[in-house]
Amino acid sequence: MFGKLSIKSALQIFILVSVAVLLIWAWVLLRNPAYFPIHDVEIQASYQHIAPQTIQKVIAPFSQQSFFALNAKSLKKQLLDIPWIYQVVVRRVWPAKIIVKIVEQQAVVRWNDDSLFNAQGDLFTPEKITANDLPVIVAPDDQSAQAWRLYQHIAQQVGLLGLHVVKLEMNNDRMWAMQLDDGIIVQLGKVAILSKVVRLVALYPKIIGGRGDAVAKIDLRYRNGVAVHWKK
C-alpha cells in the first residue's frame, strides 16, 4: 500500500514538474525574437505636427522584440509622451506584423505663450508652437480650467452674432476682457461674465448693427447697462 502511494505521488510530481518545465520552455520560446520576430511595422499617422523619424525612433527598439513579447503598453506610453500625440492604438497581426495607429492632437486654442488646448480641453505643451492663427487665452496658470470653460461659453454666444473670439484675457486685477474678430475689445469685469455676454449678444444688433468697424471698445462692467466707445 505504502509503495503504491509513493509511486503514485512520484508520478504526480513528475507530471507537475514536466508541465512546469514545458510552460517555462514555451514562455522562453515565445519571447525569443529569433523564433517569433516582428517582420513588418505599419504606422498609421497623419504627420501634421510630428516628423516620421520621431515616431520611428520610439518604435524601433520595440520592433526588435518577439511578436508575443511586445510590450504594447510601454510602447503606447512612450509615444504618448510626445506632446503632439493624443491617442495611440497598438495591434498585433499574425504572424509577424504590428500596426501602430496614431491620432495627433487637434489644437483649438492657444494658452498663454507656450501651451495649447485640444478640443477636449486638455492642455499640452509642444516644443514649438507654429499655429499663430488660433484664438488665445491669457490668464494665470491656476485659471486654466475656468478659462477654458469660460471661453467655450463665450465663443458659443458670440457665434450667434457671426463673430469669433480672438483673445480672452484676465489681467493682473483678475478682470476679464476679450477681443472679437471684428476688432472690438469687450471689457467684462470680474463677475457674472456669462450674463454680460448674453446681454452683449442681445444689444449688439440694436446698438452696433453693421457698424462694428466704427467701434473701439464695449464696456460691460456695468450692472445693467453698456458703454460703447466709438472710434474717433
**Strand 97-104's sheet: what is its strand order?**
40-44, 97-104, 85-93
Place of cell 494665470: 140
Helices assigned H by DSSP within the chain? 2-30, 52-59, 72-80, 144-159, 193-207
CA 232, CA 230: separation in Å to the nearest integer? Answer: 6
Average pLDDT score over residue span 13-36: 68
Average pLDDT score over residue span 78-91: 97
Q: If pLDDT is split at 50, 70 and 90, which confidence band does 156 have?
A: very high
Q: If pLDDT is split at 50, 70 and 90, which confidence band does 1 have?
A: very low
Q: Residues of the chain with pLDDT > 90: what percent? A: 73
pLDDT value at residue 26: 58
Q: What grid cell was written down for 49?
A: 505636427
Q: If pLDDT is split at 50, 70 and 90, which confidence band does 2 have?
A: very low
Q: What is the mean pLDDT of the chain?
A: 90
Instruction: Indicate whether 22 pLDDT > 80.
Output: no
Cα separations in angstroms, 73 against 43, 70, 208: 16, 9, 56
Average pLDDT score over residue span 173-195: 95
Task: Enter the pTM of the model.
Answer: 0.82
Average pLDDT score over residue span 80-103: 96
Cis amide prior to 140 (ω within 30 degrees): no
Instruction: Indicate whether 12 pLDDT > 60.
Output: yes
- Cβ atoms of 30 and 36 within 8 Å: the answer is yes
CA 90, CA 43: separation in Å to the nearest integer? Answer: 10
Which domains does the chain possess? 40-104 (3.10.20.310), 108-230 (3.40.50.11690)
- Cβ atoms of 35 and 63 within 8 Å: the answer is no
pLDDT value at residue 27: 63
| Closest to 96 in 3D by CA, of 132, 117, 124, 67 | 67
Average pLDDT score over residue span 160-172: 96
pLDDT value at residue 73: 96
pLDDT value at residue 15: 78
Cα separations in angstroms, 122 against 141, 165, 211, 218: 13, 19, 37, 31
Q: What is the pLDDT of residues 94-132, one digit of tens each?
A: 999 999 999 999 999 999 999 999 999 999 999 988 777
Instruction: Indicate whether 51 pLDDT > 90.
Output: yes
CA 66, CA 45: separation in Å to the nearest integer? Answer: 24
CA 14, CA 179: separation in Å to the nearest integer? Answer: 81
Q: What is the pLDDT of residues 57-66, one digit of tens each?
A: 999 999 999 8
Q: If pLDDT is split at 50, 70 and 90, which confidence band does 214 have?
A: very high
Question: What are 90's strand-pairing partners?
Answer: 100
Q: What grid cell was written down for 156?
A: 458659443
Q: If pLDDT is split at 50, 70 and 90, which confidence band does 24 have?
A: confident
Q: What grid cell was written down for 34?
A: 529569433
Residues listed for the chain:
232
